Amino acid sequence: MAVVRVIQEFPDELEADLLEFFDVDLLDLWRGRLSLRRIGVLINSLVAKPGRSTLLMAMDHRANWAESDYMLARVSDALELSNYLFLKANVDEDDARALELPPPITRPGDPEPQPEQQPEFSDARELTEFFGRLNSA
């Protein structure tokens, strides 16, 4: 049962949210004043509160932001890209090469951006050996 799993894995977060949003004490389950069905209903309500529910944030780091936060990040990224493209089109060629693409805003739950690695190119000797092996096969 999913309710029991949530109670077992996230007891502190669930208790905090039940008290904050519904003024319900999780201990009432053991006192006989609260059923698992009602806790399940309340958990489903908490899942609909991204950016505010401690339980949801513990279950999924992407829920640290509300939907409006994600939309603001998209707008900000689009504005940065628009400014970049405007500058790239309206500065002289030498300055345009120096412009770097702006990094997007990091969202919760996204992996950390890895630095780009420069590709390694083969030298003439390696290319000669490679094509020599192809011809001899």
Quote the distance between the C-alpha of residue 13 and its chain's center.
Answer: 20
Amino acid 113: pLDDT: 67
Residue-wise pLDDT tens for the chain (137 aa)? Answer: 588 898 999 999 999 999 999 999 999 988 999 999 999 999 999 888 877 888 888 888 777 788 888 899 999 999 999 999 998 888 888 887 888 889 999 888 777 767 777 778 788 888 888 888 887 76
How far lies 55's CA from each of 8, 32, 79, 122, 132, in Å? 12, 23, 33, 52, 62
Burial of 123 from C-beta contacts in 10 A (0-12 / 13-18 / 19+): exposed
Of the candidates 76, 68, 6, the residue with the CA atom closest to the CA atom of residue 39: 6
Give which of 25, 13, 18, 24 is closest to 54, Cα–Cα. Answer: 13
